[in-house]
Chains A and B, each alone.
Chain A
Amino acid sequence: MDTEKVIKLEHVTKRFPVGEGEFTALNDINLEFAKGEFAGLVGPSGSGKTTLLNIIGSLDSPTEGKANIMGRNISELTHKESAHLRNIHIGFIFQVFNLLPVYTVYENVEFALLLQKKTASERKKAVMEALEWVGLTSMANKKPAKLSGGEGQRVAIARAMVKRPDILLADEPTANLDAKNAHAVLKTMKDLNKELKTTFLFSTHDEKVMAYLDRIVHLEDGSVKEDEIITHQNTEL
């Protein structure tokens, strides 16, 4: 495992205003994730998993503490720098896929590369490669509405991976999938993790996901309860 730290969280606290008071969603989180980790934030609803994922994805910033992503303190980034960080270094996979409905599978995957201003031939090569990773080259011209749940999530993986990000954040990626599709999707991600050395960080309370993780960070009431390294008996995982 490469020891380069792509995510460094120091005393991260996040509070939200609620009425006249405040709700503490994250409380003094100290975590580090190295390049190539396949890790998960696990905990019940309201434990702060998604909030932490949003901060790591620079969609949100901590109220206190420092979140260094790819060596940049996200609290100090402008909107433009933050967008650049997400565009180049971070991929997202959402629970409900969030595919753009008017685009084809190909165009959905291509989108991030358009933002990176890649040439048409570079885009085509990368998109076809990404669709190959997830086994959807034959679906390239279909619209998201024509896909099954598993296929939709695989398109979302291809869209997140096509730009070969350093970090991939997946928020409950299997919540809307049946067991068969969930395993297929997780296997795809695990393979990509091995092949591309991308750091995968999940937010989940799905045991199917946990079975694939190499490291599980247990969150409870916004605090880290346990940081567990998993040794898999099953060599396939």
Chain B
Amino acid sequence: MKLAFQIAYKNLMGAGLRTWLNVAVLSFAFVMIIFFNGLMDGWNQEASRDSIAWEYGQGQLLHENYDPYDPFSLEEGHGVLPSAIANEFESILIQQGSIYPDGRMLSVQLKGINLDQNTLKIPTPILKNSEADIPVLIGKRMAETTKLKEGDEVLLRWRDINGTFDAANLTIAGVFDSNVGTIDNGQLWMPLKKLQSMTGLDNQVTLGIAKKESNYAAIGGWKFQSKETLLKNLSDIIATKKISSSIFYLMLLAISLLALFDTQVLSIFRRQKEIGTFIALGMTRQQVVGLFTVEGSMYSLFAIVLGAAYGTPMLWLLAKTGIPIPAASQDAGVAISDTMYPVYGFGLIAITILLIIIAATIVSFLPATKIAKLNPVNALKGKIQ
């Protein structure tokens, strides 16, 4: 095997530009695979981090009648948190209402949250410091949609526990900037006590955000969703996105492997006399097959070295400075920041290296198998068809 590597190295070096063109294309595929996957992993990590910080906490305890995907369930989906565990959760009450910015009616979710909480990154101190009768916080997306800004007042209409409509002006106490669109679009955050008193739902909450990581068993009337369960949707979306993005770099990889395959076929055709000479000098056909396969694999090793040489500083820089994401992407259904920072894990790099080496070895081996069947006399005469 050592001999095969020595010979292969000399042959590749001797082939000059042909070698380096293949290596360049393969190294580009190598770097792009790491970059795209790193980008997706970075997005996944950042989105998970932000979702935990702004929305999920360490898990959610939902009232059994509340279904996050069914707004009608808000009517019955609330209750009093069991006192034994109430301190371990941040209470959130969710109700429906409507606001009338610029005379348009807009359905909103009213979300009551404790002003002293520090489980979520919602900037509740702004609410605490506000002197307005109904102070609310909105996210930047909501502010953009409704054209509301800090200090604006707008009419709010809601229904109390008996179904009776009530209305009052609310005041925008602040606008927060979050990567998590699901706590922003169509939502008004207000003091929990205020919402409870407005709706007559004293001590009632829709869900609790776990303050600490813990595995809660089923609690009467409440269902617990762990952080991992809540993040699964996000991971699934990113995994789907990863597959669609992978088409691009798999095509790039396929092109580079095709070039390698082509080079190998041409190489075997052009080097028939050399193959015959190897056999005449005492190499077995299998050794020659191995030699050509190793040559192909070495393209991938060179590509990895070359890719590391220019890819490491480039990817490092991108990981430091991040990739700006267009504003339009912020409205996607998942957490996405205005700058995405790729993350390149050891696993990603190791798997990509293995993928490149295995793929290059396979495409090199396939044409080389022809050698195993050739007649050395014909090879020496250059008569392989």
B350 on the A face (CB < 8 A): no
A105 to chain B, nearest CB (A): 14
Give the distance in Å from the alpha carbon of A54 to the alpha carbon of B13 in the complex: 32
CB-based contact B3/A83 at 8 Å: no
- CB interface residues, A 90-130, toward B, < 8 Å: 92, 94, 96, 98, 100-103, 107, 111-112, 114-116
Tell whether, in the assembled complex, residue A115 and residue B283 are in contact, meaning their CB atoms are under 8 Å apart: yes
Do the beta carbons of A98 and B380 come within 8 Å of each other?
yes
Q: How far is the CB of B271 from chain A (nearest CB, A)?
A: 9
B282 touches A100 (CB 8 A): no
Interface string of A49-69 (1 = CB under 8 A from B): 000001001011000000000
The answer for the CA separation of A186 and B261 in the assembled complex, in Å, is 43
- Inter-chain contact A83/B279, CB cutoff 8 Å: yes
Q: How far does the Cβ of A161 sit from chain B's closest Cβ, in whole Å?
A: 13
Q: Which residue of B lies closest to A171 (CB)?
A: B380
Q: Is the CB of B281 within 8 A of A103?
A: no
A194 at the interface (CB under 8 A from B): no
Known: A98-B273, A102-B15, A115-B3. A59 touches B10 (CB 8 A): no
* Residue A86, interface by CB 8 Å: yes
B14 touches A86 (CB 8 A): no
How distant is the Cα of A115 from the Cα of B6 in the complex, in angstroms? Answer: 12
With A102-B14, A107-B10, A114-B3 known as contacts, the answer to whether A87 contacts B281 (CB < 8 A) is yes
Bound Cα distance from A103 to B11, whole angstroms: 8
Question: Which of A5-60 touch B at CB < 8 Å?
Answer: 54, 57, 59-60
Q: Considering the chains assembled together, what is the distance between the CA atoms of A214 and B281 in angstroms?
A: 26
The CA of A112 and the CA of B278, in the complex, are separated in Å by 9
A135 to chain B, nearest CB (A): 22
Q: Which of B10, B274, B375, B377 has the most CB of A within 10 A?
A: B377
Query: Which residue of chain A has its CB nearest to the CB of B376?
Result: A59
Q: Does B277 contact A (CB under 8 A)?
A: yes
Q: Which residue among B273, B280, B376, B380 has the maximum number of chain A CB atoms within 10 Å of its CB?
A: B280
Closest A residue to B273 using CB positions: A98
Contacts of A101 in B (CB 8 A): 14, 274
A149–B15 Cα gap in the complex (Å)? Answer: 23
Instruction: Give Cα distance in the complex from A195 to B326, angstroms.
Output: 82
Assess whether B111 is interfacial by the CB under 8 Å rule. Answer: no
B381 closest partner in A (C-beta)? A50
Interface size band for A: 20 to 34
Across the interface, which residues of A come within 8 angstroms of B311, CB to CB?
none
Partner among B3, B280, B375 whose Cβ is within 8 Å of the Cβ of A57: B280
Q: Judge whether B280 and A102 touch: CB under 8 Å.
A: no
> Judging by beta carbons under 8 Å apart, are B276 and A98 in contact?
yes
Chain B 1-56 residues near chain A, CB threshold 8 A: 3, 6, 10-11, 13-15
A80 at the interface (CB under 8 A from B): yes
Q: Which residues from 261 to 301 on chain B have a C-beta closer than 8 Å to any C-beta of chain A?
A: 273-274, 276-277, 279-287
Q: Closest approach, in angstroms, between the C-beta of A88 and any C-beta of chain B?
A: 7
Q: How far apart sit A115 and B284, CA to CA, in the bound complex (Å)?
A: 10
Chain B: CB-nearest residue to A54: B377
- With CB as the reference atom, state the residue of chain B lying closest to A103: B10
Interface check A146, CB cutoff 8 A: no
A232 at the interface (CB under 8 A from B): no
- Chain B, residue nearest A81 (CB): B284
Q: Is the CB of A86 within 8 A of B281?
A: yes
* A residues in contact with B274, CB < 8 Å: 98, 100-101
Could you tell me if B282 and A112 are in contact, using CB atoms closer than 8 angstroms?
A: yes
**Beta-carbon contact of B282 and A87 below 8 Å:** yes
| Residue from A60, A83, A96, A103 in contact with B282 in the complex, judged by beta carbons closer than 8 Å | A83
Question: Smallest CB–CB gap between B97 and chain A, Å?
Answer: 79
Hey, which chain B residues are within 8 Å of A57, CB to CB? 280
CA distance A83 to B282 in the complex (A): 5
Chain A residue numbers with a CB within 8 Å of B284 are 79-80, 83
Contact in complex: B277, A100 (CB < 8 Å) = yes
Residues of A within 8 A of B277 (CB): 94, 98, 100
The answer to whether the Cβ of A225 comes within 8 Å of any Cβ in the partner chain is: no
Residue A142 at the B interface, CB < 8 A? no
Q: Does A208 contact B (CB under 8 A)?
A: no
A114–B6 CB distance below 8 A: yes
What is the CA–CA distance of A148 and B90 in the complex, to the nearest angstrom?
89
As a 0/1 sequence over residues 173 to 213 of chain B, the CB contacts with chain A under 8 angstroms (1 = contact) are 00000000000000000000000000000000000000000
Q: Is the CB of B280 within 8 A of A92?
A: yes
Are the CB atoms of B281 and A112 closer together than 8 Å? yes
Which single residue of chain B is at the shortest CB-CB distance from A84?
B282
Known interface pairs A59-B380, A60-B377. Does A86 touch B280 (Cβ–Cβ under 8 Å)?
Answer: yes
Interchain CB contact under 8 A, A92 and B281: yes
Report Cα–Cα, A93/B282, bound state, in Å.
Answer: 14
How far, in whole Å, are A60 and B376 apart by their CA atoms in the complex?
8
Chain A residues with CB under 8 A of B282? 83-84, 86-88, 112, 115-116
27 contacts between A and B (CB under 8 A): A54-B377, A59-B280, A59-B376, A59-B380, A60-B376, A60-B377, A83-B279, A83-B287, A84-B282, A86-B282, A87-B282, A92-B281, A94-B280, A96-B273, A98-B274, A98-B276, A98-B277, A98-B280, A98-B380, A100-B274, A100-B277, A102-B14, A102-B15, A103-B10, A107-B10, A112-B281, A112-B282
A-B pairs with the 8 shortest C-beta distances? A87-B282, A102-B14, A83-B284, A98-B277, A92-B280, A86-B282, A59-B376, A115-B282
